[in-house]
Amino acid sequence: MSASGCGGSLNRPTGAGGKCARMNCTATFASTLPAPSFSTGSMSGCSAAGTSIRKHPEHSSNGSTHFSIMKPVSNAESRLHTLLSDLDAAAGHASCAALAAGLRAVLREPPDGEGPVVVALVGGTGAGKSSLFNWLCGRENSPVSSDRRSFTDRLHAAGETDAVQHWARSRGWEGKVTIHEANLPGMILLDTPDLDGPSARHLDLSRAAVEAADVVACLSYPDNIASLPLHREVARAAARKRWIFLLNKIDLVPPEARPTVLEGYRGEIERHGFTAAGDNLYALSVRQPDAPGSQAGLVRMVLCSGRFRERARQAREESWLAAVSLALGSRAADEVAVLPARLAEEEARLESGLREIYAAALDEPAVRRGLAYLVKEELWRLAPGRCGFFIALPVALRVRFAGLWLGWSMGRLVTGRGTALGLLGGLLMSVRAHFRRKAAIEPLADCLPVAAVRRFEAVAADQRRLLEDVGWTDLLGQGDAAGPFPDAPAEGGEAKTGGEWTPVVAAVKELLQGGASAKERLLEPVAAMVTGAARAGSRRLLPWPIRLLANLPPAAVTASVAWHGVTGWIEGSWLPGAFYSHAVLLFILSVLPGYWLTAWRVGALARIPGSATVLETAEAPEVLRPLVRARERAARLADRLAGEKERIETALGHLTGQLDREGLGSRAALQPSTDGAGQSLPPES
């Protein structure tokens, strides 16, 4: 029967040739290891194994290696922190919060490519965990017991003191772990309580140690093979760890019975879902390391080799990437991925409803008359720069006093009659629109039908409920939260205008605050249409030949008056006052044709397109801006999530290809399993 891990017989003769036989076993084991991508060197020994290790440079390394996978892992960690910040900003959504919690748990313990390899010794009562712990440390550190009762009641950690203390502090175990100084470069050795003891606390300690370890060394002995103490919770906690199985007390088995015992042990290991490969199964005797058939020296040599530490660190990084992949592939991540499509569908539905409302509202006669007023006034405002110097003077005066006429017109449009308050309110409205470079669109909201107002309210309410369901109410502004029409009329009633002074007070307040009312935000696309139509008309207001002809009469009058004035001043004769009065009158008469021509062109160009044309050229309704921001946020999250998941899967596949799967956790633990009640238990990593 060949011994696991050495390719030779366990009952190979020792004595003078025993050491040589173990060296041959070591060389055979070394040949099964994958070639590392780092340089090796001599190591100053691992307890008493220093001499043997120096004779076998393929096992020697100073542990200070740079792994090619650590750069992708470091980059992934930086990107994941950025993704976590975005998820925290969107944590109002339950799926984003759950995904952020999963990522935060993974990022709390990133892989340390240069950190020591943690080896946890687990097993049942009397398996020899503490004895192996003391033997590897080279001193009596952990209490041992020869009878079958649990003796280790807390975790013991051995290694370089600074490294062990830093490791315990990083896990929050400072003061809870007994630390022992040992010559174990690049490694921390853990001794755990028994797995088969009645104490739940012992099981919790063992599970915590296994979760913190990179390598799990499971000990058994011949009398306990049939009940291999691989507690299910512990096995699942180490599903992606590297396992080593040690059959202790092999010296108590007669040489002729050892092949049968080893076969039984191998079968028991495979029954638990593990693979008993050539490099993870050893037979040894801790109390008599040099006994015939004992591979204790080989176990110590393997655990202290740099190549073993490299494989364990790669497994650590692979486990971390697998945990990240599992978090990014969770149900919460799937819900975040489909969120943009859901929000886009809702946005299209609400926008379609708004466009129907706009189409019906813009066909109202009062609204169209109001839009014609606004386009005409915008054209007048743009006209001074399009009609020449002299004609621009009366046009500019007309624009400065246009607020009075616009206020009168809008007041009459809304109330059916012109009032002094409406005139003043229109003036303030025009002044504010002038400084904000926007059309004074607010009065048109009062011309909307009651049904349109109600439908506007329903759209805003639907948007608010949708964002509340998503959990992103932070995207709702103060005006959006209050709804588009706080003073909306009752069904079948008239539009509410408030008391006699309410329009004036509201206009002054908005003028001072510089803000926009909800009604104005709803009609923002219409305001953009008004400005666009006025600018398009101003470019065709007066072609340059007509502009030149219109400015010739006032230019000639101005030149004549200037000539007579200068000539009289030179000759020393004062011109009579009637000359100046006639000059002013002639100048006014000379600019009137150009002014009337400009007014005629403004009236001809102030045309309102049909509602269909307005809706085609209008921007997205301002009332849906919170939903648009929510969709954009969801799209950014989904894109970053998909890209990060793809990069993690690529890095994981690259690293997994470098690792042999033999001995890397239990197949049963890596797959979904069921408990006694038939409930599915998801795998843990």
Q: What is the reported pLDDT for 239?
A: 65
Both 258 and 370 in one domain: the answer is no
Greatest mean pLDDT range, 55-64, 200-209, 577-586: 577-586
User: Could you tell me the pLDDT band of residue 443, with boundaries at 50, 70 and 90?
Assistant: low
Query: Among 570, 586, 620, where does a domain finish?
Result: 620
Both 300 and 429 in one domain: the answer is no
Question: Using an 8 Å Cβ cutoff, are 358 and 610 in contact?
Answer: no
Both 175 and 295 in one domain: the answer is yes
Q: Is residue 566 part of a domain?
A: yes
Q: Is residue 36 part of a domain?
A: yes
Per-residue pLDDT for 502 more than 50? no
Both 291 and 381 in one domain: the answer is no
Q: What is the reported pLDDT for 673?
A: 38
Mean pLDDT for the chain overall: 71
Q: Is residue 671 part of a domain?
A: no
Domain of 607, in residue numbers? 363-448+495-620
User: Could you tell me the pLDDT band of residue 589, with boundaries at 50, 70 and 90?
Assistant: very high
Question: Using an 8 Å Cβ cutoff, are 217 and 133 in contact?
Answer: no
**What would the mean pLDDT of 602-617 be, rounded to a whole number?**
73
User: Could you tell me the pLDDT band of residue 342, with boundaries at 50, 70 and 90?
Assistant: very high
Q: Is residue 505 part of a domain?
A: yes
Q: Is residue 186 part of a domain?
A: yes
Distance CA 117, CA 300 (A): 14
Structure tokens that stand for 38 in this block: 């780092």
Angle at 520 between CA 517 and CA 526, to 5 degrees: 170
Q: What is the reported pLDDT for 636?
A: 92
Both 183 and 263 in one domain: the answer is yes
Is residue 154 packed enough to be buried (19+ CB in 10 Å), middle (13-18) or exposed (0-12)? Answer: middle
pLDDT tens-digit map of 149-162: 344 567 899 998 89
pLDDT tens-digit map of 74-104: 778 888 888 888 888 888 888 899 999 988 8
At 308 the three-state DSSP class reads helix
Both 305 and 371 in one domain: the answer is no
Structure tokens that stand for 230 in this block: 């691989």
From the list 393, 406, 380, the residue with the least C-alpha distance to 601 is 380
Q: Is residue 486 part of a domain?
A: no
Q: Is residue 603 part of a domain?
A: yes
pLDDT tens-digit map of 544-572: 888 899 999 999 999 998 998 888 888 88
Q: What is the total residue count of the chain?
A: 685
SS (H, E, C) 161-188: HHHHHHHHHHCCCCCCCEEEECCCCCEE
CATH number at residue 53: 3.40.50.300
**What would the mean pLDDT of 311-325 be, rounded to a whole number?**
82
Both 289 and 370 in one domain: the answer is no
pLDDT tens-digit map of 345-396: 998 888 888 878 777 777 777 777 777 777 887 888 888 888 888 988 888 8
Distance CA 208, CA 509 (A): 64
Q: What is the reported pLDDT for 142?
A: 54
Is residue 5 packed enough to be buried (19+ CB in 10 Å), middle (13-18) or exposed (0-12)? Answer: buried
Both 315 and 397 in one domain: the answer is no
Both 232 and 305 in one domain: the answer is yes
pLDDT tens-digit map of 106-143: 888 777 767 788 999 988 888 888 889 988 888 665 55
User: Could you tell me the pLDDT band of residue 343, with boundaries at 50, 70 and 90?
Assistant: very high
Both 443 and 309 in one domain: the answer is no
Query: Among 328, 345, 379, where does a domain finish?
Result: 328
Both 270 and 193 in one domain: the answer is yes
Both 169 and 309 in one domain: the answer is yes
How far apart, in Å, do the first and last CA atoms of the chain sit?
36
Q: What is the reported pLDDT for 613?
A: 66
Q: What is the reported pLDDT for 35?
A: 32
The number of distinct structural domains making up the chain is 2
Query: Among 328, 343, 371, where does a domain finish?
Result: 328
Q: Is residue 90 part of a domain?
A: no
pLDDT top residue among 508 and 323: 323
From the list 437, 415, 489, the residue with the least C-alpha distance to 426 is 415
pTM beyond cutoff 0.95: no
Beta bridge partners of 156: 178, 191
Distance CA 441, CA 145 (A): 91
